[in-house]
Chains A and B, each alone.
Chain A
Amino acid sequence: MGKLKEFDIPSDSVSEFSDLVKELHDVDVNLCYQCRKCTSGCPLTDFMDYTPTQIIHAVRLGLKDLVLNSNTFWYCIACGTCSTRCPQETSLLKVMDALSNIALKEGIKPKAPDIAKFYQIGLANISSFGRMYDLGVAGMLKLQTGNLTQDLATGLKMLRKGKLGLLPSFQNTATMKRIFKRVKEREKV
């Protein structure tokens, strides 16, 4: 069975927010007919304040504040179950990415601050070293979230097993920095 075409909605009734998501990530939330297969398959709904099905509907309705202040897209770990099973091939993976991209760009205080911090610190880390320096990311994250003791035991276990390098190694850092710079220049426009 082929997918349904986009509903014949006059352009002025489509929300600005769904247009923004479409423009940034090539994904059309108007294709969704709320069958809830995404939510049924999502392994993290227990932790989310709104289900993926609710979020996509809220994007369509233009409820930007509600959506960007939810924790749903932060908890999304991009396992792809939703996008695999969607009968309309609406990529919720892309919707979730679009939401975290927009939230960070607009400086919205993340509902799951440690997850957002992890992405930002992790990226700063690879831009400095060219590759991931796990111990550096873990250390910075603990410092910046003030959560010094959580999971210390796990970190120590990893160190003992030789799974974390004590010192960073540098990998093609000039190339890495140049890409970060060139992306940033474009995103400012």
Chain B
Amino acid sequence: MRYAYYKSCSLHSTGKEYDRSLRDVCDRVGIELVEQKDWICCGSTLAHNVSRLLSLALPLKNLALIEKSGFNQVMVPCAACYNRFKVAQYEVGENPELKAEVEDIIEYKFRGKVKVYHPLEVLSSEAVLGRLSQLVKRDLSSLKVVSYYGCLLVRPPKITQFGDVGEYPQTMDRILRAVGISTLDWSYKTECCGGSLLVTKPEAVVRLTQRILEDARAVGAEAIAVPCTFCHLNLDIRQQEIGKKYNVSYQLPIFYFTELVSLALGTPEDKLLLKMHFVDTRTVLQKVA
């Protein structure tokens, strides 16, 4: 399998560990990622708040560049980019006049529709799951994890068409179970972490993430797995502060789901960028094996 790889701004900065572990997992299961050199920012949270046209033109320009380079499918690991790509495709799909207008802005006429995939969708196919279980090298079965999906992949389901159940997704649970990690049932799989309010309204993010951490702890999780760079940062960076405010110590390491898969497939811890995490990951990993 071969995909164009849209690496996103966030995987160049706050989410370098996501990129590292995703590539490792894809290598091991035989998925080829071809990084796009000719890309621009998709506009993320910023553009749609300021200009609808801009918020459509930026993702579609990227899809145009991808189609031009000969790909009809792209892997987009950042949940925010994934969401904006899907929204843009949906909006112009519903409105031919708008499509013509955006095509004029980006100076490209689409021949078809580039299929946009998140790694969760690709890695949860039956074929890949089978392959993953065969490749397991490290026993992480005693590690209790909750899968946190966040908002942007699953909502609104009509638009993102994410290959999973909208309000109670399972893809990440299936992937982690395939490599022997136990995932727990919990209620906050798709509750919002506050996203980019981290920058402007940290008090809102503290409130939202505290609820998520609290439910994870209540069901007995020792770690949280995530598929999104915003979620990772929000849940990871403020645990100490939240602990102080609510008088509780969480110490819940936040892993990109690809890091856990990578570890289960035998990648040594020092080959991943676990040191970039704020909440220490060693204690939990030493305990399991």
Contact = CB atoms under 8 A, between A and B. Distances in A.
A26 B94 contact: yes
B272 interface: no
A182 B105 contact: yes
Contacts of A55: none
A162 B16 contact: yes
Nearest to A145: B200
Interface stretch (A3-11, A29-37, A58-66, A119-127): A119-127
B30 interface: no
Interface string A137-160: 110010000000011001001100
A134 to B, nearest CB: 6
B-side interface mostly: helix
A97 interface: yes
B40 A131 contact: yes
Contacts of A182: 57, 105
Given A75-B201, A104-B50, A126 B151 contact: no
Nearest to B94: A26
Contacts of A108: none
Given A25-B52, A162-B16, A78 B237 contact: no
B40 A175 contact: yes
A83 interface: yes
Contacts of A26: 91, 94-95
A131 B43 CA distance: 9
A88 interface: no
Contacts of B156: 80, 83-84, 91, 93
Contact of A24 (B9, B52, B196, B278): B52
A120 B53 CA distance: 15
Contacts, number: 167
B200 A79 contact: no
Contacts of A132: 9-10, 13, 41, 44
B207 A130 contact: no
B195 interface: yes
Interface in B176-202: 191-192, 194-197, 199-202
B151 A100 contact: no
A46 B199 contact: no
A44 interface: yes
Contact of A101 (B10, B12, B52, B154): B52
A97 B16 contact: no
Interface residues of A, number: 60
A179 B91 CA distance: 18
A151 B202 contact: yes
B106 A141 contact: no
B31 interface: no
Interface string A102-132: 0010000000101100111011001000111
B14 interface: yes
B49 interface: yes
Nearest to A96: B49
A100 B50 CA distance: 6
Nearest to B211: A43
Contacts of B286: none
A163 B152 CA distance: 22
B39 interface: yes
Contacts of A130: 40-41
Contacts of B195: 77-79
A39 B157 CA distance: 19
Contacts of B191: 43
Given A77-B192, A171-B40, A186-B105, A165 B155 contact: no
A120 B50 contact: yes
B199 A118 contact: yes
8 contacts: A77-B195, A81-B192, A97-B55, A101-B52, A130-B40, A154-B237, A169-B12, A176-B41
Interface of B: 9-10, 12-14, 16, 38-41, 43-55, 57-58, 61, 91, 94-95, 101, 105-106, 151-152, 154-158, 166-167, 191-192, 194-197, 199-202, 204, 207-208, 233, 237-238, 275-278
Given A75-B204, A126-B40, 13 more contacts: A26-B94, A43-B192, A44-B208, A75-B197, A101-B50, A104-B50, A118-B200, A122-B44, A123-B46, A132-B13, A134-B13, A163-B13, A171-B41
